[in-house]
Structure 1
Amino acid sequence: MALKLALILAIMDWTDEGMPNTPRITTVHWARGQMLAEEYRASVHRLLDELSIRGFDVKNEEGTGLYSAAWGADRRQRRTFCAVLA
């Protein structure tokens, strides 16, 4: 996840600079990507804790109970959401 975020940040900087040569992931991009990934991870853990307190079943047979229990998402929506988080 951190690498994906670092790549996105590098591409954003690359387009802001007028797209010279090829985009490069710098240590600044990597550090920010790691920080964002850790913030997202912590947010998911807080959400899971909150859902557990409220009585939602956060695990089911497909391993995606969080999405179905909280939002009633169908199978395709859960797969898409899980792919984005991966």
Structure 2
Amino acid sequence: MSINRNELVQKIADKLDGDVSKGDVDKVIGGFADVLTEAVSQGDSVSIQGLMSVETVERAARQGRNPRTGESIEIAATTGVSIKAGSKLKAAAKG
């Protein structure tokens, strides 16, 4: 099962027993996304204890191989994002 943003907003609002409106929950999720995006773009890491950590990672240039032709190619260095699950999230996945 996959949960989209609208479903996530609804589930969070339901968890809060009507104390917070869906509109307010949506604003918080939007704000979280903005802060996370800004932090990652500046090279900062974000950690939510037990849930997850997000950080930028540098990938060095390397040799690769074109799977269609077998030809050797140079893969350029890039900056990516690493998201690691925290202990609570890992435990939830195990059931």
TM-score where L is the length of structure 2: 0.34
Q: Which has the higher strand share?
A: 2
Largest Rg, 1 or 2: 2
Q: Which has the higher helix share?
A: 1
TM-score where L is the length of structure 1: 0.37
